[in-house]
Structure 1
Amino acid sequence: MGMHFCLYVLLQGYIYRLVIEPGTSPNKMKYLTGGIGGRMSRFIVLEGIDGSGKSSVKKALPARLNLNNLVLTEEPTKSWLGDAVRRSHREKVNPFTEAFLFIADRAAHSDQIRDWLSRGNTVISDRYYHSTVAYQGAALEGKVDFDPVPWLLSINRKVSVEPDIVFFFKVDPEIALSRLKDRDELSKFEQIGFLRKVTANYDRLVDLCRNVIVIDAARPFEEVVLDVMSNLYGNI
């Protein structure tokens, strides 16, 4: 394949990808709609273990996308249900209770996401049901006599909106933890052994879920962002 260059152009509410091949005359330049334009609603989810860089990517995307109809959200949410989830992190709550707190928060969040999408917004969420399956699946491992991953996946899908794209930011847990070294205290989820189990569950979700794109998050931040941008315009 020959070398080519891509430019992204915002025009009348739509983003276009301009592909320029060496020697191509201006009248033969190809305009391809990226599909993430101002009049098309899309639901995009960013997933990965803590320290994978997904939250930093979410903060960087608005300036890159330059869309008026972009909604950024996250889980746990900032509602009282999300507060209950965060409280469960600090207290000794059994994994079943914690999983269902996440699901309750997600059910309410999904209603809000449906409303945003119905209004023509593009929604980007930092975490969604995949996090509960990966994290609570790891927490339940060895405590139940069944495989918790497909069980949690089935329950969560019943209350969720299926994303158009899920970006899984994959990074070795040791690298992820090194990025969290400035935190005063690591949570119960931010332990190397536990994060390895979570990563293994995310790997399973790549095969079990639709529209998952794996991003090598061990690379420099700018490379990661450009990879996400390229996949956004190539898949939506």
Structure 2
Amino acid sequence: MKKFITIEGIDGSGKSTLAKELHERLCKAGYKVMLTSEPYNECIKECIEVCLREGCNPITIAFLFMADRANHVEEIKRWIKEGYIVICDRYTDSTYAYQGAQLQELIKKPVKWMKDISERFILMPDRTFLLDIEPEVALSRLKGMRRFVSFENHLFLKKVRKIYLELAEDERFMILDAKKSVDELVNTCLQDILGEIA
């Protein structure tokens, strides 16, 4: 039974939109659904935002994300115990992909390093939907929404996408074409989720 669902993908892939639509459709169908996201804890989120603005050491940022998740996981477990389907916009794979890309020059096998720490306390999702999209398409969406994005960000997102696709070799992943319509994506996800919950 798929009760814990995570939505992953590079910036501009449509994660938040998909998560909100899934939440709305499942609620309308009569299911108890909790929509959440990471970073979760407001205090830690503020620390992360300051660190990102000021260019803190990527190791520090990785630990902040993992600390936030340790708190979040306890809430997720409680919601599931109370009978909710939990949909999470970004989870541990976001940290592996983004911080993994940042840590490549600092730590040998950074994804393995973070997994070795995280897997002692995280709850593994029943399903992870990975919205896959080319960085140039994602960045064109982001430019239209809020900001100019530099070429360096394009190169960074290529690294992030590569890590995501490596992570997606795990059977809990379902890779989705993020260029498809929202309706198509939602219907595909619902069919997968409800196939075991119904």
Query: Normalised by the size of structure 2, how large is the TM-score?
Result: 0.90
1:205 correspondence with 2:161: no
| Aligned with 1:50 (options 2, 11, 16) | 11
Matches within 5 A, 1:1-236: 42-65=3-26, 66=28, 67-144=30-107, 146-185=108-147, 191-207=153-169, 209-236=170-197
Aligned length: 194
Per-residue Cα deviation, 1:199-221 (whole angstroms, up to 9, x for no partner): 000011112x4411111112222
Which structure shows the bigger proportion of residues in strand conformation?
Answer: 1
Which deviations, in whole Å up to 9, do the C-alpha atoms of 1:91-113 show, x marking residues without a partner? 21111000000000000000111
Give 3-state SS (helix, strand or coil) of 1:161's partner.
Answer: coil
Q: Which contiguous aligned blocks of 4+ residues in structure 1 show a shift greater than 2 angstroms?
A: 182-188, 233-236
| 8 A Cα contact 2:69 2:122, kept in partner | yes
Q: In 1, Cα distance between the equivalents of 2:90 and 2:146?
A: 23
Classify the secondary structure of the residue corresponding to 1:76.
Answer: coil
Q: CA deviation at 1:78?
A: 4.3
The residue type equivalent to 1:102 in the other structure is F
Q: Is the 8 A contact 2:23 2:87 kept in 1?
A: no
Whole-angstrom distance in 2 between the partners of 1:86 and 1:231: 34
Aligned-pair identity in percent equals 40
Which structure is richer in relative contact order (CA contacts within 8 A, separation 6 or more)?
2
**Residues 46 and 166 of structure 1 are in contact (CA less than 8 Å); yes or no, is this contact kept in structure 2?**
yes
8 Å Cα contact 2:139-2:149 kept in structure 1:
no
In the aligned structure 2, how far is the partner of 1:138 from the partner of 1:62?
Answer: 30
TM-aligned CA distance change 1:89 to 1:235, over 3 Å: farther
Q: List gaps (5 residues or longer) in structure 2.
A: none
Alpha-carbon distance between aligned partners in 2 of 1:184 and 1:162, rounded to the nearest angstrom? 33
In structure 2, relative to structure 1, the CA distance for the partners of 1:158 and 1:176 (3 Å cut) is same
- State the AA in 1 paired with 2:92: Y
CA offsets, 1:28-48, max 9 Å, x none?
A: xxxxxxx56xxxxx1110001
Deviation at 1:68, TM superposition (A): 4.6
Which shifted more, 163-172 or 80-89?
80-89
Q: Distance in 1 between matches of 2:124 and 2:19?
A: 19
Larger radius of gyration: 1
User: Does structure 2 retain, via aligned residues, the 8 Å contact 1:215–1:228?
Assistant: no
Distance 2:110 2:85 in 1: 32
- Measured after TM superposition, the shift of residue 124 of structure 1 is 0.4
SS at match of 1:71: strand
| Structure 1 segments unaligned to the other structure (5+ residues) | 1-34, 37-41
What is the TM-score with the length of structure 1 in the denominator?
0.76
Alpha carbons 1:76, 1:86 under 8 Å: kept: no
Root-mean-square deviation (CA, aligned residues, Å) is 1.9
Contact 2:6 2:127 in 1 (8 A): yes
Amino acid of the structure 2 residue aligned with 1:176: A
Q: 1:136-157 CA distances to partner (integer Å, 9 max, x unpaired)?
A: 000011223x111121122222
* 3-state SS of paired residue (1:158): coil
Q: Contact 2:132–2:175 at 8 Å: present in 1 too? A: yes
